Amino acid sequence: MAIFIASTKSISRGNGQSAVASASYRAGVELEDKRYDKTQDYSKRHGVMSADIILPSALAAANAAIDRSDLRNKAELAEKRKDARVAREWLVNLPHELSEQDRKALAHKFAQTLADRYGTIADCAIHQPTQKEVDRGADPRNFHAHILLRICRTNMKGRVILVEIKT
């Protein structure tokens, strides 16, 4: 039987981090970072099983849509301070006993709960251990989800309302 483990941390400029770079790495994609005028390219990263944007139910019901690049660049632009927290990450282990579809459904349900609770957009990337990691001693059953939350609340009129996400 699997044991549930979850942890959370801030993505902060004060630690030299970027929401765009964090999202690019976790999703294994290339994103343009407008704040730093550079391309964050992790498209060759292995182990990413899926990466999906999860909207709060109210926005999803209104057929709203946003792509990962716009989401993360808007999060960076919304924060003005040089030591601002630009995202909050949840790292959640997923039971290896479940099928790939069931792990994805579980991660998406958890991300949806967070998105609805905080009224913000979640970016859910599911990872599996790569052979390189296993060769270095990683557990081959270490399936996990990285859920990046935007720090601010988004409403239907496109306005951004800053909120503190406390965990």
Per-residue pLDDT of 14-47, as tens digits, reads 888 888 999 999 999 999 999 889 999 999 999 9
N-terminal to C-terminal alpha carbon distance within the chain = 26
Q: Which pLDDT score, from 0 to 100, does residue 153 have?
A: 60
Task: Judge whether 94 and 16 are in contact, CB under 8 Å.
Answer: no
Higher pLDDT: 6 or 80? It is: 6
CATH class of 6-162: alpha beta
Residue 159: its pLDDT value, please? 44
Specify the pLDDT at position 75: 81
Q: What is the pLDDT of residue 1?
A: 56
What does each C-alpha distance from 38 to 30, 32, 42, 72 come to in angstroms?
11, 6, 13, 14
Looking at the predicted structure, is the pLDDT value of residue 147 above 90?
Answer: yes
- The model's pTM is 0.85
* pLDDT of res. 100: 96
> What φ, ψ does residue 89 adopt, rounded to 5°?
-110, 135
